[in-house]
Structures are given as structure tokens and as C-alpha cells.
Amino acid sequence: MTVATTRSIISGEAGAQTAPRVQVRNLSKIYRTRRGEHVALDNVSIDIGAGEFVVLLGPSGCGKTTLLRCIAGLEEPDGGEIHINGKLVYSSSAGISVPPEGRALNMVFQSYALWPHMSVVDNVAYPLRNARASTSEARARAAETLELVGLGAFTAAYPGQLSGGQQQRVALARSIVSNDGLVLFDEPLSNLDAKVRDRLRVELLNLQSRIGFSAVYVTHDQMEALALADRVAVMDVGRIAQIGSARDIYDRPTSRYVADFVGSANEIAGRIVSSSEGVAIETPMGRLSGVAGSDRLAEGAKAIAMVRPEHCILASPGSAASGNQVEGVVERSLYLGPVVQHFIMVGEQQLTVSVSGGEGLQPGSRVAIGFAADRTRIFAA
Amino acid sequence: MDATTRAAPTRKASALAGAIRNMTWFSAVLWALMAIVGLLVVYPLLTALIHEFDQVVIGLGELGQGDLAASVPTVLWNTFVVVVGGTVIALVIGSALAWANERSDASLGWIGQLLPLAALIVPPIAGVIGWAVLLDPRAGLMNHFIRNMLAPLGISFDTGPFNIYTMAGLVIITGLYIVPYVYLVVSAALQRLDPAVEEASRVSGANPFKTLYRVTLPAVRPSLVASALLGVISGVSLFSVPAILGGGARIDVLSVFIYRLLSVYPTRIGPALVLAMGMLVLVQVLLVAQHLLIRRGQSAAIGGRGFRGTRVKLGPFRYLVLAMAALYLLATAVLPLLGLLLVSLQPFWTPSINWATLTLDNFKFVLLENKTTVSALINSMWLGFVVASFNMLLTGATTLHFVRNPAARRLADSLTGMPATIPHTVIGVAFILAFSQPPLRIYGTTAILLLAYVVMTLPYAARAASAAADTIGIELGEASRINKASDLVTLWRIMLPLALPGLVAGWIMVFVHTVGEITASAFLSGTNNPVIGRVLLDFWTFGNFPQVASLALIITVISSTFVGLMLLVTRRRHAVTVS
Ligand SMILES: Nc1ncnc2c1ncn2[C@@H]1O[C@H](COP(=O)(O)OP(=O)(O)OP(=O)(O)O)[C@@H](O)[C@H]1O
Ligand SMILES: [Mg+2]
């Protein structure tokens, strides 16, 4: 695990160029409850570069919030080290734990966490006041920042008088006003409707490139993750399964778990027949060739070939093709707007094929499905 | 505070060492104060038991034979009838009103809001005195009025038709003051129960009443049982009702009987202590049962969102429900107050009101002329002020300060909640015995009252502080820390302003309880340290009825003014609260 993580850090583009803003080393967190111990973080290591936007993506309960809160200092880890801007803020071995107010970072909460008894401008001025700025200076800078997020007209309002999207902008303004260089986001857009979410996402990216803070951003939404991230860290229970650019994660997953979790995938079980220069796998649909997704692929071992529905094409049966081709019977087609999804029975197994544009197919008709070998990733089963 | 590093000398500090490392002077002060308060509960009980151990032994013997052997079983039986009867009445009225308010179209509106506060707005002592002057068999104003109405019809009595000094009177009035407990618990349970489960039953073909019996009632059964236990516990310690009505009815119940044992000469410490301890044990057993039931009850709660489902249409029954609610308010507040008012304006308590001789002399006497009542009023107000301020400061600071430390908060909660498990009669007995001997010989001073009130009202304060803190989303405090605020700045600028309405409400609640307190006042107050509760009882015993009535009215006015303020404060929250 550690090896894989280290390698992907080096391969990450932004992270390798400048000194990391955040360095997390072998972080562990164990919750002790009445029902026993629960390992929420298991030896997690991750670096976040200056100005880099890293998204944490993973299923519910995998520890994304826990990781974020450990970085923030809101939760005390049980082991490991955290550096922020090169300064050691947590170390279990040195017995150091800097409280949140001593860490150069800010955070946007899922519930916005605006203080209802303070006006919008006072909410935003709060971090400056704590940094010993005078009231008038803090207010002035807060008003500037509110201008920046498009809320110049709302400085005197109270949070309760704003819409959800406006409240989220206030929270955003509060997190960037003191310019700490690092902002943590815990599902900041999940309470908003789709349209507002899209718009705020773009505004967030604009702000980030303008101000240049590093961001660690937790989300459930894959499309959001792929759209925002310089790098995506996909988490499995308590650990980071893969970290890399959106393209890496989507096109070159290094494990079945990641392939499955991000996007959707057709999985075809079989046995490895050759693993030299490309991998070949014998399946009930015939022999398929592909590339190795993970290292451990011994000949004769059970394996899974995985191909994404949108990497498949449809052809008429019998046509010559390069790459893999299987034949099947159309069960049903779903029109989804931008794409049409076809469900096709190949032998005993149903495969999904997504085609952008195009017509539905007659159920019962025979079709061939083609997919390139370099789009077919093979993992040990 | 040091905002950079907190270094620990050892690699793996134990939890205790960690707690001590994180101890600031502020939390140290809080813990010290809580320890003192905890001691105030334990010390009197233990001292009383240890010092009077030989008396306990004698007491056990006396209870086995002699005059007490004959009277105690009757007392116990009376207590049982009063408490169980009162609880049953309260259960029926309280849960019916709660259901109607939460689930039917007979929404009670402002009555529903006032209902749980009935016993705060009109202190039970005032209410029961009010009923006594209304339904005294001879001189009762209401009895007299009814007799006058019936006379033209050729029906005439000399007394009655009602007599409050009976077991029935005792049971009904006790029931009235248990209703708020039931109403609160059942309302809360119904609010937690997702109306969707009832709607599912309706959609499955059950009519509203079948749904009530098959779905709603079983779902809130744990809360019903819990509220019944709560009713029994509060009924056992209720002092005002039997103290006022029991004498005339010649019906002794436990709380008053114990008080008598200590106020007759020679005092009978042993039997009093034994009975008080028995009461304590009984309540502990009930509390354990309640704890188990409430746990189960919470796990049975479904949903948690406060959304409103469709309401059951009651049709003409609506008016029945509304009438019942109105009747309840009439019975706990309007009628007794009317009775008190009429008596307080007369030179003597006469059933027929002579409108020509109405006078404010009684108020003048009580408020200005009589030394005892004046100093009682001043003492009670002053004590209420100090007790409420101390308790709210302590519990408010504790809950808000330990918001991020659940373990510390649990410990603090169990310390501050402890007195709630001890009947006030027991506190009275223990304080008398423990504080009339060295090293703390303070019996007969205001200090003993202060300590007793602090202990007795601490749970109210703690509950109010908890409720105030729980309405503040955890993230609001975390957001402050993230924005570089120290713990004390967070407490001062974020938590305190947000919790303030709840804390003020708690202050008022404690104040009102203290001013209207009867039990400890009866045990611990005397000529040197008079308080309102004690003076009311004395005046009643001596038959100064118009003065009693005016004094009772005065504390009612004080109480309801403060409760009105409380409603105002809690209502005026920030327009919309975030998270
Ligand atoms: N205070 C706590 N006590 C005990 N267990 C906890 C606590 N907080 C979190 N956990 C557990 O730790 C695990 C990780 O929780 P975390 O909140 O980090 O998940 P998450 O990835 O943010 O999930 P989601 O996407 O649902 O927000 C979960 O299994 C959770 O049950
Ligand atoms: Mg989370």
C-alpha cells in the first residue's frame, strides 16, 4: 500500500513540482466505541502541493471526513505525522498536537456553519479579528472578499436571511479571507440543487486559480471529483486505494475496487492464459486481450477483465475487428438523453454498452460488441 | 492560551494523563465547583445516616411495634392510592392532550404551549390553596355558589356538594400537577415518531382510531410507561398538595408524615430517617426501571425529522378535546386564582362575597406591615436570584466548555443530575440532621436554604443548559476554532451568545422553582430564616386565610411574570437558525 501511494505521489503532476503544502505520513485513527475498535484511518499518507486541488472520493464511511478533520486538528489521530507548510503540527512520536487555531488552514463545512447571531460581514471578518486585525480593517477586508464571491450587496444581512447557495458563498468567503493557503472542504455543495452546484463549482475553480490556495475537497459525486481535481484520491475503508489525475483514475485504475467505484464497468471473469506483452484471458465469451491493471497476474490464475460501457462499440455480427469482439443478443435499450444504453446478453452474462447519440436497438436482434485491448484492464480476481 | 504546541513528555500518555494535560485553570475551577455540589448531595445523606445510626436502629424497632406500627401501613397505603390514582388521571389527560396536539386537527395552539408550564405559572402551593378555598365543604366559594344556584330549585344543603378534603380531592389535585410531566414526555415521543408510520397504517386500511391503538400507542408505549414512572416519582415527593389538603381530610401521606415526625416534640428522628431512606430506595428502583425503558424507547424511535404529516380529522370531537384542554387550564390556573383573589380581597374568609367590604388590606399587610412575610418575600427572591445565577453559571459554563469532550460532559451531567434522583423530602431530612451538628452547624440560617435550593434545582439548570447547548450545531464551534479562535474566545463570542436564550430560560425556571419551593422550605426554614413556602404553610395552619390567599397570589404573579419573560426570550431567537 505504502509503496503504491509513494509511487503515485511522484507520478502526480502538481505535487512533484513544489514543496508540499500538506504532508500526511502514516496517519492512523482508531475510534474506540462501546462496540469495539473501529479503524477509521489505517496508515494513510498523502501530499498536497501548493496551489493543488486534491479531491478525496470514496464510499460513505470510508474515512474521508476523518482524514480532513485530522488535518484540521479537530480530531486527534492515533499515530503518524502531519506537516503543514513544512511545520510539524501533529506527531504521535514527538507528542505534538497543534490545536486547529494554530494551523495555517481554513475549512468549509457541509452545513456551512455560519454563526446565526453575526451579520454576514462579521462572519467573514471573524478570522481576521482573531488574527488581531482592528474591527474596521477586518470589516473592510471582509467586504472586499464578499464582493469577490458576488455577495457585495449582502454584507449587513444575517445568515438566516440568505439562500443556501448564498450561505455557501459566505462560508467560502470566510475560508479565504485570511488567505491561509489551504482550504479544506467537506462536501460543501451537497446541500444545494444541481444548477447552483454547477455554478458554484465553476466559481470555486476560478477563485482557486485567482488566489492560488491549496484545496482538499471531500465529495461523493464522481463527476464533481473528476471536474475539480488536479488529483483524485480514491479511498477504500480507512486507506487510499489510488491517487492520481482524473484521467489516471478513470482510464487506468490500478485495482478492481477503483475501477468499480469510479464510473461503471463490465466485468468478465476468466483465467489468465498469457501475461507476456499484453495479457490474455480465457473467458466464457472467448479469449480477450487487455493490459494488466495490477501487478500480480500469474498464468492460470483467476482474473477479471474490465471494460467501461462507453469504451465499447457496436458492430454488425461477423464484421472484422481489431481488438476484442464478442457477440450477443439485445435485451433492451435505454434512452438517457446524451447517451443510449444497451443491455446485451453475451452467453450467460449481460454487458452494458453506452453509445452517444444513436438509436435504440430492437430487442432480440444480434449484435457484435467491440472493445480495444488497451481499454480492457485485467485484474487478479 | 498557548496556541502553538502542547507537547507531552511521554510517547503514549494515558487518557487520564491526557485529561490532566488538557486541564486549564478554567476547567479546574469548574470541576472543583461541581465536586463541591456533588459533596452537598452525598455529605448530608452520609452524615445523617452515620450520626443517627443508633436512631435508625431504634426507628426500625419503633416501626415494628408501638403507635407507628399501626399508623405507618395506613400512611403507606394512602401514599400508594394518592400517587397511583394521580398518575392514572395524569396519564389519561396528559397523553390524550399530547396526542390531540401533535396528531389531530384539534391543535391546541397557545394552550398547548402553556400546558407543560402550568405548574410553573401557578405554583402548586397556590393552586391547591385556591382549590381549598373553592371547595371547602362549608366555606368553599364554589360550593356556596352551587348551593345558591340550586336553592331556587328546592334543593338545599348546608355543606357541599363537594368536599376537597377527601381522598378523591387529594388524588385529583395531585393528578393535575402530574399532567405536565406526562404531556411533555408523550409529546416528545410523538414528535420523534415519524407520522409516515401512521400514514402507512391508514393507507393499509385502518381507520384513525385503529391506527391509534395498533400503531401509535404501541410505538410510544415505552414513553407512556416512562412518563407514568416519572409521575409516580414526582407524586411521591409532592409536598404541597397533601400538606394543604391532608390535614383537613385527616389523610396522611408519606412526605407530610415524615415532616410531622420531625416537627413534633419530641422529634422522632429514627422513624423519619428510616422512612426517608425507604422513599429514596423506592425512587432509585423506579429510576433504574425508567432508565431501562427510556433506552429501549429511544431505540424504538423512528425517523427524526420534524415534518408534519396529515392530521387526524376529529370532526365534532375537536371541541371535546379543546374543552378538555380549556378545562385543564381552568382547573390549574383560572379557577384557583379566582378563588384566591376573592378571598384575598375580603377581611375574613366568608363563602358569600360582600362586594361592599372588598379591601386591599391583606396585600398591604403581607407586603408592607407583617415582618415575617416581608422578610420571607425578600429572602425567597434573594435566594431565587442567587441560586438561579449560581446554577446557570455553573451548568452553562460546564456544558458549553465541555461541548467537545463527551466523556467530561457525561461525568458533569451525572454529577449535576444526581439530585434529581433524590426526593426533596429526603433532602430536607438529610439537611436537617446533617447540618444541625458540627462541623457545619448552619441549621436555622439562610445558608442552609441556599445550599438546599442549589442542590434541588441543579438538575433543572443542567437540563436547560444541555438543551441550550444541544441546539447549537457542533460545526458552529468547530468553525470558530478553524478560524483561529481560542477556546475561551469561542465560548465567549460563539457559544454563549447562541446559548443565551436557553440559559436565560433556565435561569427563570430555577428562580421560579426556588421562589415557590415548599418541601425543603418546610423542613429547613423557621422564624430566623423565613421563606415564602414556609410562611404559606404556617399561615394556613393558623387559619390566616385571606393573608395566605394574598401571599399565594403574589408569588403567582411573580412566577407568571417571569415565565412570560421566559417565553418572550425563547421565542425571540434569530429569525432562522442555521444548522
Ligand atoms: N466519533 C466517532 N465515533 C466512532 N466512530 C466514528 C466516529 N466518527 C466516525 N466514525 C466512524 O469512522 C468511519 C469513517 O467515518 P467518516 O465520517 O470519516 O466517513 P466519511 O468517509 O466521511 O463518510 P461520509 O461520506 O458518509 O461522510 C465510519 O465508519 C464511522 O462510523
Ligand atoms: Mg463525511
DSSP A53-85: EEEEE--TTSSHHHHHHHHHTSS--SEEEEEET
- Structure confidence at residue B1 (pLDDT): 37
- Would you call A115 an interface residue with chain B, using a CB distance cutoff of 8 Å? yes
Ranges A60-74, B73-87, B143-157, B487-501: which has the least confidence? B143-157
In a domain, B545, yes or no: yes
Domain extent at residue B289: 71-344
Has residue B4 got a pLDDT over 60? no
Residue in chain A lying closest to B481 (CA): A101
Number of domains composing chain B: 2
Q: Do A113 and B498 touch (CB under 8 A)?
A: no
Ranges B14-23, B220-229, B236-245, B248-257: which has the least confidence? B14-23
Query: How many CB atoms neighbour CB A228 within 10 A?
Result: 23
Q: What is the mean pLDDT of chain B?
A: 79
- Structure confidence at residue B307 (pLDDT): 44
Distance of CA A54 from the midpoint of ligand 2 (Å): 16
- Strands A182-186 and A214-219, how do they pair? parallel
Which one of B313, B344, B375 terminates a domain?
B344
Taking the C-alpha atoms of residue B230 and residue A85, their distance in angstroms, rounded to an integer, is 57
Do B302 and B254 share a structural domain? yes
Q: Please give the number of the atom of ligand 1 that sits closest to the Cα of A68.
A: 18
Taking the C-alpha atoms of residue B502 and residue A287, their distance in angstroms, rounded to an integer, is 71
Do B313 and B268 share a structural domain? yes
Residue nearest to atom 1 of ligand 1 (CA): A31
- Structure confidence at residue B579 (pLDDT): 33
Residue in B6, B484, B489 nearest the CB of A97: B6
Q: Are A73 and A103 in contact (CB under 8 A)?
A: yes
Percent of chain B with pLDDT over 90: 5
Has residue B6 got a pLDDT over 70? no
**Tens digit of pLDDT for each residue in B517-573?**
888 888 888 778 888 888 988 888 888 888 888 888 998 998 888 888 877 776 654
Span B215-234, average pLDDT: 80
**Does residue B351 have a cis peptide bond before it, meaning omega lies within 30 degrees of 0?**
no
Which one of B310, B344, B378 terminates a domain?
B344
C-alpha cell at position A23: 504532508
Q: Please give the number of the atom of ligand 1 that sits closest to the Cα of A66.
A: 18
Do B263 and B377 share a structural domain? no
Nearest to A168 by CA among A193, A143, A189: A189
* Chain B residues lying within 8 Å of A127, measured CB to CB: 483-484
More confident residue, B193 or B391: B391
Distance of CA B270 from the midpoint of ligand 1 (Å): 57
Q: Please give the number of the atom of ligand 1 that sits closest to the Cα of A238.
A: 14
- Would you call B160 an interface residue with chain A, using a CB distance cutoff of 8 Å? no
Nearest to A105 by CA among A201, A15, A210, A175: A175
AA identity, residue B528? N
In a domain, B57, yes or no: no
Do B262 and B366 share a structural domain? no
The domain that holds B540 is classified in CATH as 1.10.3720.10
Span B495-518, average pLDDT: 86
More confident residue, A254 or B297: A254
More confident residue, B91 or B296: B91
Has residue B512 got a pLDDT over 50? yes
Residues of chain A with pLDDT under 50: 1-17
Report H helices in B66-205. Answer: 67-103, 110-114, 118-121, 124-135, 141-150, 167-192, 195-203
Percent of chain B with pLDDT over 70: 88
Nearest to B45 by CA among B448, B416, B422: B422
- Structure confidence at residue B389 (pLDDT): 93
C-alpha cell at position B451: 445550599
Residue in A74, A100, A117 nearest the CB of B574: A117
Do B437 and B526 share a structural domain? yes
- The pTM score is 0.74
Which of the four pLDDT bands, split at 50, 70 and 90, describes residue B310?
low
Ligand having the closest approach to the CA of A31: 1
Mapped onto helix, strand or coil, the DSSP state of residue A23 is: strand
Has residue B397 got a pLDDT over 90? no
- Structure confidence at residue A6 (pLDDT): 37
Taking the C-alpha atoms of residue B436 and residue B452, their distance in angstroms, rounded to an integer, is 14
In a domain, B450, yes or no: yes
In a domain, B457, yes or no: yes
- Structure confidence at residue B13 (pLDDT): 41
Do B562 and B470 share a structural domain? yes
**Tens digit of pLDDT for each residue in B111-130?**
777 777 777 788 888 888 88
Residue nearest to atom 28 of ligand 1 (CA): A61
* Beta bridge pairs of residue B248: none
- Structure confidence at residue A321 (pLDDT): 65
Q: Do A101 and B486 touch (CB under 8 A)?
A: yes
**Tens digit of pLDDT for each residue in B195-209?**
766 766 666 666 777
* Beta bridge pairs of residue A267: A306
* Beta bridge pairs of residue A268: A305
Taking the C-alpha atoms of residue A67 and residue B578, their distance in angstroms, rounded to an integer, is 25
In a domain, B107, yes or no: yes
Nearest to B234 by CA among B420, B361, B372, B81: B420
Q: Are B176 and B84 in contact (CB under 8 A)?
A: no
Q: Describe chain A by its helix, strand, coil percentages, rounded to 5.
A: 30, 35, 35
- Would you call B9 an interface residue with chain A, using a CB distance cutoff of 8 Å? yes
C-alpha cell at position B401: 466548555
Do B565 and B457 share a structural domain? yes
Span B271-295, average pLDDT: 81
Which one of B316, B344, B372 terminates a domain?
B344
Q: What is the ipTM of this complex?
A: 0.71
- Structure confidence at residue A351 (pLDDT): 92
Q: Do A115 and B4 touch (CB under 8 A)?
A: no
Ligand having the closest approach to the CA of A76: 1
Best B5, B487, B489 residue to mutate vs chain A (most A CBs within 10 Å): B5
Do B427 and B307 share a structural domain? no
Residue nearest to atom 3 of ligand 1 (CA): A31
- Structure confidence at residue B572 (pLDDT): 55
* Chain A residues lying within 8 Å of B497, measured CB to CB: 117
- Structure confidence at residue A139 (pLDDT): 92
Do B283 and B366 share a structural domain? no
In a domain, B303, yes or no: yes
In a domain, B34, yes or no: no
- Domains of chain A are 3-105+180-251 (3.40.50.300), 264-380 (2.40.50.100)
Query: How many CB atoms neighbour CB B304 within 10 A?
Result: 9
In a domain, B287, yes or no: yes
Q: Fill in the DSSP letter of residue B311.
A: P
- Would you call B13 an interface residue with chain A, using a CB distance cutoff of 8 Å? yes
Q: Please give the number of the atom of ligand 1 that sits closest to the Cα of A67.
A: 18
Span B396-411, average pLDDT: 81
- Structure confidence at residue B295 (pLDDT): 58
Do B383 and B467 share a structural domain? yes
Do B369 and B257 share a structural domain? no
Do B390 and B317 share a structural domain? no
